[in-house]
Structure 1
Amino acid sequence: MWRAFVASLALTVFAQGSMAQARNIVITNDDGLSNNVVALYKALKAEGHDVVVSVPCTNQSGMGTALKIGRPVVPLEAACRADAAQPGDPGTGAMTRQDLVAGDFFYVDGTPTMAMLYGVDVVAAKRWGKAPDLVLSGPNEGQNVGAIILSSGTVSAAQGAAVRGIPAIALSAGGRTVDDKAFSNPDSARVAQLSAELVGRLDKLAGEASLLPSGMALNVNFPDKLEGAKWRSARIGTYNAYELRFVDDMAASSSPEMVAMAKEHGMEIPHLPGLSAQRDTGTPTAMQADDESVVYKTAISVSPMQAGYEPVAFEGWGRWLVGALNSDE
């Protein structure tokens, strides 16, 4: 059934005005104000949706589900990414960059999950008086596939919405979709249009119902080369695109590709201890051919995720274990 659903995403490209209804959508991410977010906002608005953006002030990649519980968000000490807000501005609020639509773009000096919650609990509540119909997290600047999603702020923000019962999708694009000045990267525009088409298809399939089944979120990854890419269902699986290791010298342990990607993001990998991410160069097994870490390289991988830790697939095993624990044998 799931494969049939994903296949239906690619049947037709829906024309303007073909949606069942406009949706209230919160866009969040873990990168801060990015070219990808602005492009997605424009694509969704063009389809008639009501959209607000709530993202971290600065890049929070790898922060996962981190929260600053009980600590107030104080005024900014430094500017947000892409000049979304300036030093001295409140720790949360509307962005002040002049080329953004006033009242639609917001920031939080906090983690990705905090930015999502601000968008849902504050911005959406004031705007619509209820939770949004959909939370879109991303598109991230770099794919989130395999085990690395456990630390992904992009995926965690979507998961945080899903456990609240809000339909949520994590979106991730290639790492070279960065353009903080002009917001004109062509790959970002294409990823945004494809993402808007995904929302439109879900809307058409759902009708008046929720966009996704209860207890499920989606992890969607776009390949670096978008031309001709088709939708394809994929498991999160056991094959990993990246291997994380703690090393004594991050720079010496990084591949040329990772060094180049860091420079594109305005960073330089230091000769200091820390986490190193290397691409897994091993050959996937036949059992891993449908893993998203393999699929995303040539197709748009669409992977269902269980919301939180609700025991769906293994609840029978859990009952068996408890029975064994309670047994006198």
Structure 2
Amino acid sequence: MKILLTNDDGYDHPGINSLFEELSKHHEVFMMAPDTNRSGFSSALTFLTPITEQKIKENVYKIDGTPVDCVRLALEEFCPFVPDLVVSGINPGPNIGHLMLYSGTVGAAIQGRDLKYPSIAISVSSFEISDYSFASKVVLNILENITDLNLSEKSILNVNVPDHNLFKQPKMKVTKTFVDEEASSDDEIEDDVSSLESGNITISPIKISTFDKVNLKAVDTWLGKF
């Protein structure tokens, strides 16, 4: 499999480098990541200043841009192959519930999907983690089976891995993204927040929609009163 790898914590972060090392054993990987920490940049795009790139080693680049810039620039110019998949991470700290809206990790994956590439965002629950080997193997396991997944062309997988020091044998669980406590109790599918806290690897299919069909009639009625 051919993989484009990025993150929001920077090219020298141990999370992305652990993942690059693990995936490169089995797949062809090209990595382009920010030159410094760009956490919380969501889907920000640089367009007022030029972006410069620097080759670190074969198939590894850094740029002075955002995670979304990394995906776009890699796909448009630098990646030597057409990737089968865009992978963003590994991020220290969870990207669950509303937190994912601010996440550069998730933002990069969404950009990959917007450009028609299947994409995965991967995070770990602990901010203090130093060993990313377990989370890297989780990603590898997912990739080995992802061709069997028939996912909507507008959706990405948002994966969160619990602290391996606390949960030695976590199970993979499909989850919905937590919105509020009331909404969470209405469904048989567990939300990502509570499932991750219980020690599960949460896998949530998510998409960003800009159109609110539910309130279309309400706005139309409101405009009719002008």
* TM score, norm. by length of structure 1: 0.60
Q: CA deviation at 1:70?
A: 3.0
CA distance, structure 2, for counterparts of residue 212 and residue 286 of structure 1: 25
8 Å contact kept, 1:222–1:301 = yes
Alignment of 1:36-115 (within 5 A): 36-47=15-26, 49-73=27-51, 91-95=52-56, 102-115=57-70
Letter in structure 2 aligned against 1:232: K
Alignment counterpart, residue 237 of structure 1, candidates 167, 170, 178 = 178
Contact 2:178–2:184 under 8 Å retained in 1 = no
- Whichever residue aligns with residue 93 of structure 1, its letter is Q
Is the contact between residue 96 and residue 178 of structure 2 (CA under 8 Å) also seen in structure 1? no
1:296 partner SS: helix
CA contact (8 A) 1:239 1:294 kept: no
Tell me by how many angstroms 1:177 deviates: 2.6
Alignment RMSD, CA only? 2.5
| Aligned residue pairs, count | 218
Shift of 1:106: 0.8
Give per-residue Cα distances to partners, 1:107-129, cap 9 Å, x unaligned: 111111112222222222xx12x
| Cα distance between partner residues in 1 of 2:112 and 2:75 | 8
2:145 aligned partner, one-letter code: R
Distance 1:285 1:116 in 2: 33
Contact 1:35 1:177 in 2 (8 A): no
Larger Cα-atom Rg:
1
Over 3 Å counting, the alpha-carbon distance change for 1:70 and 1:197 in structure 2 is: same
Preserved contact between residue 160 and residue 203 of structure 2 (Cα < 8 Å) = yes
Residue 220 (structure 1) aligned with residue 159 (structure 2):
yes
| Identical-pair percentage | 26
Task: Give deviations 1:42-74, integer Å, cap 9, x for gaps.
Answer: 222222x1101111000111111222213113x
Gaps of 5+ in 1: 1-22, 74-90, 96-101, 179-184, 241-283
Q: Name 1:299's counterpart in structure 2.
A: 200
Deviation at 1:150, TM superposition (A): 1.1
Correspondence for 1:260: none
> Unpaired runs of 5+ in structure 2?
none
Match status 1:159 vs 2:110: yes
* Structure 1 position 176, deviation (Å): 2.2
Partner-residue secondary structure (3-state), 2:86: strand
Q: State the Cα distance separating 1:321 from its structure 2 match.
A: 4.7
